[in-house]
Amino acid sequence: MEISTDLIKELRERTGAGMLDCKKALQENGGNIEKSMDFLREKGLAKAAKRGDKETKEGRIVSYIHSNGKIGVLLELNCETDFVAKNESFEELGRELCLQIAASAPLYITKESVPADIIEKESSILRSQLIEQGKKPEQIDKIIPGKLNSYYTEVCLLEQIHIKDNKKIIREMISEFIAKFGENITIGKFTRYQIGG
């Protein structure tokens, strides 16, 4: 089946995928845009994991001010190309992340970015609590990693449960966008402002 360049262009604009991938998806799905989008998404999720080491030198700054004017977020969201940085869906992802940050007030991006002294302090508090509860030392060593994981889901953006979809964590949501665009996406940094907070 002959696929028009207009159709390829439309699919590329809607997904951010490469021209050849768009053409192949349309050929595989008889020119159906919706099926082609699903096809690219499925294909992309497998690719997303492989893109994790790609450099992200492009991107955009996304901002959000809560309707009461008392909470604001600035977010640096990075990607590989200017094409994706200018895509509406990329900006949409940025807004979603800003909402998450405004609502959940994470302190770090990843659990790897939590300073060692903070982990040490948290482990120490947990250990004291467990001793008080009468747990044995061997039990405590098994319990602490699980408790630390719960701590990470509170303070690390990528480990938090999505405020709009409690079946998904933020890391998974970003992976879906990586799959959609066929590019690595990373969070550079964020700042959350709160009046009186």
| Contact predicate 98/65, CB 8 Å | no
- CATH class for domain 5-51? mainly alpha
Q: For residue 142, what pLDDT band results from cuts at 50, 70 and 90?
A: confident
- Angle, vertex CA 91, rays to CA 164 and CA 9, nearest 5: 115
pLDDT tens for each residue of 176-188 = 888 888 888 999 9
Average pLDDT, the chain: 86
Compute, in degrees rounded to 10, the torsion defined by CA atoms 22, 27, 31, 35: -70
Residue 54 is predicted with a pLDDT of 65
pLDDT band at residue 7 under the 50/70/90 scheme: confident
Coarse DSSP helix, strand, coil percentages of the chain, rounded to the nearest 5 percent: 60, 20, 25
| Domain range annotation of the chain | 5-51, 55-102+167-194, 115-154
* pLDDT score of 108: 95
pLDDT at 98 over 60: yes
Name the nearest CA neighbour of 189 among 157, 163, 154.
157
CB atoms within 10 A of CB 86: 13
The pLDDT value recorded for residue 93 is 95
Backbone angles phi, psi at 4, to 5 degrees: -75, 150
pTM of the model: 0.69
Please tell me the CATH code under which domain 55-102+167-194 is placed.
Answer: 3.30.479.20
**Does the pLDDT value for residue 9 go beyond 50?**
yes
Digit-coded pLDDT (tens) for 28-78 = 888 888 888 878 776 664 455 555 556 778 999 999 999 889 999 999 999
